[in-house]
Amino acid sequence: MKKFLFAAFTIATAFILFSFVAADKKPAWNIPAKYTAMKISKKGDKESIALGKTLYVKHCKSCHGGGKGDGAKAASLKTEMDDLTTAAFKALPDGNKYYMAFVGRGDMPNFEKKITDEEERWAIINYLNSL
Ligand code: HEC
């Protein structure tokens, strides 16, 4: 009986721990197809990257820091930020990055009214791709 109780306890603990780990993982971004289909303008263009950097420093750095989610405000946010400098992030369609960066969700602010110029928006995506 003791053995059985121990096994049952172990299994229950494992389930509880697993559900915490699973709950901790961020849900995937749900990107509308029309965004995924969007094409970046001036891809890799140096001037665009430079403009993107200026805008990133102004609007994004406080939270995202150097791209790894290590900005000054990061500790006060409830949602963890992904590392924007990884190959996995870079491999995402540029339109998906555009949606995440300007439409946002939850703790990631919506920038559609703050950054209205399409060229400026794509400049930021160009900068992210250069990190
Ligand atoms: C107030 C802090 C804050 C600012 C300012 C901010 N972000 Fe975010 N950002 C977040 C948080 C938090 C997430 C994660 C949101 C989630 O997964 O629900 C996020 C997510 C993202 C993602 C998707 C990757 C991920 O972590 O899920 C991209 C891309 C992104 N932000 C780009 C930008 C850009 C570009 C700017 C500036 C125009 C910006 N962010 C400004 C907090 C911020």
- Residue 110 CA to ligand 1 center (angstroms) comes to 9
C-beta of 40 in contact with ligand 1 (< 6 A): no
Helix, strand, coil percentages (3-state) for the chain, rounded to 5, are: 55, 0, 40
Q: Give pLDDT, residue 2.
A: 65
Ligand 1 atom with least separation from CA of 69: 26
| pLDDT for the residue numbered 68 | 97
Q: Is 81 in the pocket of ligand 1 (CB under 6 A)?
A: yes
Averages of pLDDT over each 10 residues, the chain, 131 residues: 61 53 76 97 94 98 97 95 96 98 97 98 98 95
Domains in the chain: boundaries: 28-130
CATH homologous superfamily of 28-130: Cytochrome c-like domain (1.10.760.10)
Q: What span, in angstroms and rounded, lies between the C-alpha atoms of 44 and 127?
A: 8
N-terminal to C-terminal alpha carbon distance within the chain: 59
- Specify the pTM: 0.86
